[in-house]
């Protein structure tokens, strides 16, 4: 018995030494297509710079306590995010499932068999019958342990584990990307809601101004100074502004409902008080383009996908080689049960098997080619993801730059239009101008004021979009490590 144990130990040692071999290519991250600097940042110094807020809590740069509370709910209560949380948990379990194949499979069986050994012969009498000879009834018990182990000499299982670990990291990055997307959408909807509140303030002031203009024309008509047509024009203008004011309530309500759902609430559970647009527009420093490789969760997911697909090439290449498995049985068979576990009843066996497909019509080579093609596709997807990320940052930088200049121009246009309205009203009251000139100037003023509000809204939205484009404070250091994903033994 000692000799057999020695042979088994030698065989296991050889297997463990050979297990360091893994067929298939090792992963090396391909180069991404990057620029040295951001084109749209050249020559522009943001008017309202703001350092990145505490890691992950990027929304705090807007200094809005209600927004802080709503954003903090997304990671915990948003149902789309919870879906990605479950998918990540599934990916972690898949890693453990694959790792379990690296360990021996142990089993135990127990049984009892009751049998009778004897003979019976037929006898001829006046009738037909049988007379049985004396038989022997025995009961046999068995208790055995079994073990089998796929040696994974060529690394098929280990390559699968590598692929599953990378897939779990992809899932973790997707989770963060989904969270960031929901948080960004909530912040954008919050800006839209603020815009509606600011527009409501503007239209309230406009309705008050138009009502005063109607009062003036009514007095002018009563005094016989002007025609009733002027009063009708003032009434039409006031009614139009009042209708626009009512429409604001529809849009505001819809944005409030959207915010509630993003925060994991029912629309009935959230009421947001009147909140005009913020005056300042924080701009997150973009750094250099190469930092996007560490800051964007979607880029991290695309990079980890390449590792996943690369490992699957090794899985398919390993199919060319024989699968070698060790097996062992040890136990007792016999009876009675009180004397089952004894040397006389001991049984054992050791074995090794190798299986190899001789002919499969090119299936394996096709599978390897497909795996390599899938890897090539993941490389292209990774590079395109990087290019798209660069475009998004450049888009928001140019938007913030141009809108900052446009905002100053719109503010000047508003001040000019306000002076024009004042002049037109004075001239109308003096009887030197028709009321149509007042209507024209008031319309121009409202248009300029709405344009100024829209630009401020676009600047704040571009600020949110830039934070998203830069990863929202996330870094690849937040990804679960390969070691952490494999730290739990499958049988614990």
pLDDT computed for residue 2 by the predictor: 42
pLDDT computed for residue 114 by the predictor: 87
pLDDT computed for residue 434 by the predictor: 86
pLDDT computed for residue 136 by the predictor: 83
Phi, psi (deg, nearest 5) at residue 283: -125, 120
Neighbours of 369 (CB within 10 A): 13
Q: Is position 205 within any domain?
A: yes
Q: Is position 123 within any domain?
A: no
* Region of residue 396 (phi > 0: left; psi between -120 and 50: alpha; otherwise: beta): alpha
Give the residue from 155, 166, 116, 121 showing the smallest Cα distance to 138. 116
pLDDT computed for residue 6 by the predictor: 46
What tens digit of pLDDT does each residue of 47-61 get?
555 545 456 799 999
What tens digit of pLDDT does each residue of 393-403 get?
999 999 999 99
pLDDT computed for residue 4 by the predictor: 47
Mean pLDDT for the chain overall: 89
DSSP designation for 296: -
- What Å distances lie between residue 317 and 24, 304, 364, CA to CA? 6, 21, 8
- pLDDT above 90: residue 126: no
Q: Give the helix, strand, coil percentages of the chain, each rounded to 5.
A: 65, 15, 25
Q: Is position 8 within any domain?
A: no
pTM for the model stands at 0.86
pLDDT computed for residue 175 by the predictor: 97
Q: Is position 334 within any domain?
A: no
Torsion of CA 236, 241, 246, 251, to 10 degrees: 130
Q: Is position 118 within any domain?
A: no
DSSP designation for 34: -
CA–CA dist 101, 103 (Å, integer): 5
Give the residue from 278, 220, 222 showing the smallest Cα distance to 67. 278
CA–CA dist 372, 275 (Å, integer): 55
What tens digit of pLDDT does each residue of 203-258 get?
999 999 999 889 988 988 888 888 899 899 999 999 999 999 999 999 999 999 99
Residue 155: how many CA atoms within 13 Å on its side-chain side?
18
- Comparing 478 with 432, the larger pLDDT belongs to 478
- pLDDT above 60: residue 1: no
Q: Is position 11 within any domain?
A: no
What tens digit of pLDDT does each residue of 157-178 get?
999 999 999 999 999 999 999 9
Q: For residue 212, is the peptide bond before it cis, meaning its omega torsion is within 30 degrees of 0?
A: no
- pLDDT above 70: residue 408: yes
pLDDT computed for residue 489 by the predictor: 57
Angle at 193 between CA 279 and CA 55, to 5 degrees: 65
Contacts of 474 (CB under 8 A, 6+ apart): 55, 56, 176, 180, 295, 296, 297
Domain of 252 in residue numbering reads as 24-103+166-321+367-485
CA–CA dist 441, 43 (Å, integer): 38
DSSP designation for 59: G
pLDDT computed for residue 117 by the predictor: 78
* CATH assignment of the domain containing 309: 1.20.1600.10
What tens digit of pLDDT does each residue of 334-379 get?
888 878 888 888 999 999 998 888 888 899 999 999 999 999 999 9
- pLDDT above 60: residue 19: no
Q: Is position 152 within any domain?
A: no
pLDDT computed for residue 120 by the predictor: 57
Q: How many residues in the chain?
A: 492
Domain total for the chain?
Answer: 1
Q: Is position 10 within any domain?
A: no
pLDDT computed for residue 20 by the predictor: 58
pLDDT computed for residue 116 by the predictor: 83
What is the CA 399 to chain-centroid distance, rounded?
A: 26
């Amino acid at each position: 018995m000692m000799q057999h144990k020695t042979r088994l130990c030698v065989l296991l040692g050889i297997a463990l030494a050979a297990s360091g071999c893994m067929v298939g290519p090792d992963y090396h991250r391909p180069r991404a297509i990057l620029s040295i600097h951001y084109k749209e940042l050249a020559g522009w110094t943001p008017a309202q710079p703001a350092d990145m807020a505490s890691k992950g809590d990027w929304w705090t740069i807007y200094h809005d306590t209600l927004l802080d509370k709503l954003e903090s709910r997304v990671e915990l209560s948003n149902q789309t995010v919870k879906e990605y949380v479950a998918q990540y948990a599934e990916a972690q379990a898949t890693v453990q499932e694959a790792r379990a194949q690296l360990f021996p499979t142990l089993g135990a069986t127990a049984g009892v068999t009751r049998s009778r050994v004897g003979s019976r012969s037929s006898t001829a009498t006046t009738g037909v019958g049988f007379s049985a000879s004396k038989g022997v009834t025995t009961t046999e018990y068995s208790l055995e342990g079994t073990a089998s182990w796929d040696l994974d000499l060529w690394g098929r299982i280990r390559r699968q584990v590598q692929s599953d670990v990378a897939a779990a990291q992809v899932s973790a990055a997707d989770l963060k990307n989904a969270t960031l997307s929901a948080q960004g959408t909530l912040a954008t909807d919050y800006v839209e809601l603020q815009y509606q509140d600011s527009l409501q303030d503007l239209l309230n002031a406009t309705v008050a101004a138009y009502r005063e203009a109607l009062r003036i024309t009514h007095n002018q008509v009563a005094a016989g100074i002007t025609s009733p047509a002027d009063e009708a024009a003032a009434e039409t203008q006031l009614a139009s502004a009042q209708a626009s004011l009512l429409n604001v309530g529809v849009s505001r309500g819809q944005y409030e409902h959207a915010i509630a759902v993003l925060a994991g609430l029912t629309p009935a559970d959230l009421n947001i008080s009147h909140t005009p647009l913020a005056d300042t527009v924080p701009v997150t420093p973009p750094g250099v383009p190469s930092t996007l490789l560490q800051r964007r969760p979607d880029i991290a997911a695309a990079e980890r996908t390449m590792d996943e697909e690369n490992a699957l090439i090794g899985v398919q290449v390993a199919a060319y080689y024989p699968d070698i498995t060790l097996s062992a049985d040890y136990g007792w068979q016999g009876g009675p049960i009180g004397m089952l576990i004894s040397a006389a009843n001991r049984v054992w066996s050791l074995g090794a098997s190798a299986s190899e497909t001789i002919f499969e019509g090119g299936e394996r080579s096709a599978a390897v080619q497909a795996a390599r093609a899938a890897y090539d596709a993941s490389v292209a997807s990774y590079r395109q993801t990087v290019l798209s990320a660069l475009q998004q940052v450049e888009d928001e930088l140019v938007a913030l730059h141009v809108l900052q200049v446009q905002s100053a121009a719109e503010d000047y246009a508003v001040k000019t239009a306000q002076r024009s309205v004042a002049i037109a009203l004075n001239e109308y009251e003096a009887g030197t101008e028709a009321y149509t000139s007042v209507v024209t100037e008031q319309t121009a003023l409202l248009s300029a004021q709405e344009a100024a509000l829209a630009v401020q809204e676009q600047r704040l939205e571009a600020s949110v979009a830039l934070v998203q484009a830069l990863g929202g404070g996330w870094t690849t250091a937040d990804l679960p490590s390969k070691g952490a994903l494999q730290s739990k033994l499958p049988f614990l």
